[in-house]
Amino acid sequence: VHDLEDGTDLQVAVESLGRKLEQIRVNLQAIVSQPSEEMIYWAEAYRNRLSLHAAPLHIGPLVEKHIFADKDTVVLTSATLRTAGRGGYGDVDFAYLRDRLHAQHAEELAVGSPFDYRKNTLLYLVSDMPEPNQPGYQRYVEDAIVTVGRTLKGRTMALFTSYSQLRTTARAIAQPLAEANVSLLVQGDGASRQQLLESFKETDNHTVLLGTRSFWEGVDVPGIALQAVLIVRLPFDVPSDPIFAARSETFESPFFEYSIPEAVLRFRQGFGRLIRRRDDEGAVIILDKRVLTKRYGQSFLDALPECTTIRQRHSRLEELLVRWFNREKE
């Protein structure tokens, strides 16, 4: 038996559940019986659960219809709107984003940064590391992170592209860092991204933070809490990812026309974690030798602002970092 107030609450709850069931029915119908060529569909199995997913093949028509055509003026602004030119080479420009967003008629403007990267940022390209998937590469990664963490007494963030490599690295470096009185924070150990960042920002907490995809963007750690960012591997998408695989099929040369521009955008986002204020300074250390050995590697370097750049052996990391942070400043 329910009184009138309970009856109203029950009615609202039933109506809400009804709307959710109807949405499930519509989604199932669209995926199973009425699929569209303009959508990507895939299933994911996890333990005893199966989930169905859908995403648009092209986002440009949706942006054009719901944003550009619906507004008198639209301003898109970001530090990472430009990427490698068509074919993955050439000047860094807006062409890739124009095509993806159906913004061919938009006016464009690239302005200089308020930050003095040449004075405040050391770009360290490790020249003697094996390339990813070659013997010894993982050992070099672990040694580099430990060296930087010890040298700077924490204040270091390492950006990964996979959880498996992150976890492998965390297991290997935890003890060496602990012996140097440096703490280790690892994404995926139970704490949320916000909790990890709050712990990391404590300036008296000498910490190395290992993060993957969500830490490449939207992370703001100004001041001396972050003095070094290590980019462990160029952030190419996993070829087996359903969205990536489907969209790749729409390009004549998927690697050069899609993979490289997307990776360059994410690479710039990762680089941007270091300098957040005018008086910030530090080092970005690239542990993926392909920026030096592959022709497309120059596209990643060209996408960055002008920094103080050195190409040196991994064994000189400690020496040159100390020299950089103790340099005479204007």
- Please say if the pLDDT value at position 310 is more than 90: yes
Residue 325 pLDDT: 93
Average pLDDT over the chain, rounded to an integer: 89
25-39, 170-184, 242-256: the lowest-pLDDT one: 25-39
For residue 94, give the amino acid letter: F
DSSP state of 102: T
Helical pair 137-151 and 317-325, crossing angle rounded to 10 deg = 30
Q: Which residues pair with 186 in a beta bridge?
A: 210
Residue 222 pLDDT: 85
Confidence band of 149 (pLDDT split at 50, 70, 90): very high
Residue 139 pLDDT: 96
Confidence band of 113 (pLDDT split at 50, 70, 90): confident
Residue 223 pLDDT: 87
Residue 165 pLDDT: 96
Report the alpha-carbon angle 16-22-28, nearest 5: 140
Segment 273-290, tens digit of pLDDT: 999 888 899 999 999 999
Confidence band of 203 (pLDDT split at 50, 70, 90): low
**Cα–Cα distance list, 40 to 31, 34, 250 (Å):** 9, 13, 12
What 3-state DSSP class applies to 307?
coil
Percent of the chain with pLDDT over 70: 95
Tokens standing for residue 112: 């200089």
Residue 202 pLDDT: 80
Residue 6 pLDDT: 63
- Please say if the pLDDT value at position 87 is more than 80: no
pTM: 0.85
Segment 48-84, tens digit of pLDDT: 888 888 888 999 999 999 999 889 999 998 888 888 7
C-beta separation of 276 from 221 below 8 A: yes
Q: Which residues pair with 158 in a beta bridge?
A: 210, 230
- Please say if the pLDDT value at position 91 is more than 80: no
